[in-house]
Structure 1
Amino acid sequence: MSHLRNSPSPPPMNPPQMSPIGRTIVSHHTVRKAEWQNAEILDLNALKTVFEDCDFSYSVIENGYFRDAVFRNCRFVGAKFIDCNFKSANFYKCDFKFALFHTCLLEVPEILASLPAEPNIRREALQNLKANAAETGDYSSLGLLTLQEIDAAKRHFSYALHGYDTYYKNKYASIFSKARAGASLFGLWLAGIIWGHGERPWRLLVSCFLILCGLSFLNFWSLMPRIGWSQAERGLRSFEYISRLFLDLSPDSSFAGFVAVDYIVVLMRYLYIGLFISILYKSISRR
């Protein structure tokens, strides 16, 4: 394949299978219906190139420069990209099933729109994109990728629990496998409510406040037989007791209620401290 720096049009793209391809330039051109399958492409300059109906399946592309490129209806099934630049690239109706990226500069929202819909395959793709983001220092995308991965995992376990199709019916046929899937789904749901999987810190504060309010209300019914409505200040003293106990600020024991509630509050204190430290560490490590 010849260089195209001064050529009016790109060369034909039908390399022999698994034959290494050296430096190739197709920048500022439109490439249609290229069959670039099972190829090893070592250096490709595709700046502002438009690819239409091209097939890159099971190819290895290293040092590809795809900045500002446009891909329409292209297949990248099983392709592997190494040290490629996809900054400002756009993808329309592309297939990235089982594609892998290593140390590539990506437009993550563009790639997400082209990932496979199957939740098990999508989750594996998102795990690879997270590793790639960490390799390239794209820490701002890690939160988005994590939440997308969790959404895919939730759909995966939901499909497993309900036997969505033949694949899930066969793979999760036993009651025990369905129970494990249900437990995993519940764990993800609960973690999302309590702290947003570490990606939505405000949920940690909201869930903590709501749980303490619920425990205060529970304790209030224990207080009423021995402490009047006015002395309890319409339940505010119960909430004050629970809050001070949670913060370890010497609460007034005269407003103590159920002993089990006290144990729950103390356990909450250490749990939420651990979750807060985890969020703080994650925030610092991504800077």
Structure 2
Amino acid sequence: MADQRITTGSPELAPPTMPAIQRTNVAHRTIRKADWRNSELLDLNALKTVFEDCDFSYSVVENGYFRDAVFRNCRFVGAKFFDCNFKSANFYKCDFKFALFHKCLLEVPEILATLPAEPNIRREALQNLKANATETGDFASLGLLTLQEIDAARRHFSYALRGYDTYYKNKYSSFFAKARAGGNLFGLWLGGVIWGHGERPWRLLTSCFVTLCALALLNFWSVMPRIGWEQAERGAKSFEYIIRLFLDLFPDQKFAGFVFVDYIVVLMRYIYIGLFISVLYKSISRR
């Protein structure tokens, strides 16, 4: 019978290295206070197993089968999982700090709920989960993970600017460090407003339309003294000129306004075309 290395007493400090535990079968069982720290678990069958107060910290788990398993108050600090199946697994109050997944089948919403709250650690974990999703072909989860990563990055740079705690006060103590954090934070905000970081296509259309309307209104004040209210059709012709210029549909130069507005509209045309192609590529590649 394979050595299962299951302990039910209080965990003690594990030795630096432990022999590999191979082909362990704990399916349909309840495991309490098992100490698997610094262990190498190979081919662990834990189908519908309940783990309570177990410690997998700094362990390496390969080919683990955790389908429909339940984890309560378990620690996975620094653990590495390779080719594991966590489909339909549930996690309650578990610690996944610095844990890594490679080619693992995961319930992403379950894992997200257990990720550390610290934004810098959370962002690294989300980057790993994105790589894992790409490896397993779970493209449906990439959008959610990307938005979660951006949110963590936004909080990270916000904490850096505010000197949220000792970590941020020490790491971002200089003016230039705070300036870089502020620049990154502004870039994230701008990317979210313009196109939702490529994950919210409707924002791309909304930002484009709103910006063109604003430029048309700006041009209107230049056109009105020359054309007049009636001939400009209450500003409609100014708006039509901007739209035609944006679409390169031979706008009527009689309704041209400020020259710098024309340059902005032409520049917007190429920027938004590039962003649209990027969104379209993401959509197609994730099918």
> Smaller-chain TM-score range?
over 0.9
Contact kept? 2:46, 2:64, Cα under 8 Å? yes
Q: In structure 2, the residue corresponding to 1:233 is in which secondary structure? A: coil
Residue in 1 aligned with 2:59?
Answer: 59
Residue in 2 aligned with 1:33?
Answer: 33
Aligned residue identity for 2:165? D
Is 2:243 aligned against 1:225? no
Map 1:1-287 to 2 at 5 A.
2=2, 12=7, 17-287=17-287
CA distance in 2, matches of 1:43, 1:124: 27
* Cα displacement (A) at 1:42: 0.9
* Cα displacement (A) at 1:120: 0.4
* Cα displacement (A) at 1:3: 7.2
* Cα displacement (A) at 1:101: 0.1
Q: In structure 2, the residue corresponding to 1:41 is in which secondary structure? A: strand
CA distance in 2, matches of 1:110, 1:120: 20
CA distance in 1, matches of 2:163, 2:6: 49
TM-score by length of 1: 0.96
Contact kept? 1:34, 1:55, Cα under 8 Å? yes
Deviations 1:96-146 (A, max 9, x none): 000000000000000000000000000000000000000000000000000
TM-score by length of 2: 0.96
Contact kept? 2:223, 2:257, Cα under 8 Å? yes
Residue in 2 aligned with 1:7?
Answer: none
> What is the RMSD computed on CA atoms of the aligned residues?
1.5
**Identity within the alignment, %:** 81
Aligned residue identity for 1:274? G
Q: In structure 1, the residue corresponding to 2:228 is in which secondary structure? A: coil
Deviations 1:16-65 (A, max 9, x none): 74210110000101111111100000110000000011110000000000
Q: Is there any run of 5+ residues in structure 1 with no aligned partner, and where?
A: 5-9
* Cα displacement (A) at 1:193: 0.5
Contact kept? 2:6, 2:35, Cα under 8 Å? no
Q: In structure 2, the residue corresponding to 1:65 is in which secondary structure? A: coil
CA distance in 2, matches of 1:88, 1:127: 22
Aligned pairs, number: 282
Aligned residue identity for 1:193? V
* Cα displacement (A) at 1:2: 3.2
CA distance in 1, matches of 2:230, 2:102: 66
Q: In structure 1, the residue corresponding to 2:250 is in which secondary structure? A: coil
* Cα displacement (A) at 1:12: 3.9
Contact kept? 2:126, 2:149, Cα under 8 Å? yes
Q: In structure 2, the residue corresponding to 1:75 is in which secondary structure? A: coil
The runs of at least 4 consecutive aligned structure 1 residues that moved more than 3 Å come to 1-4, 10-17
CA distance in 1, matches of 2:233, 2:19: 81
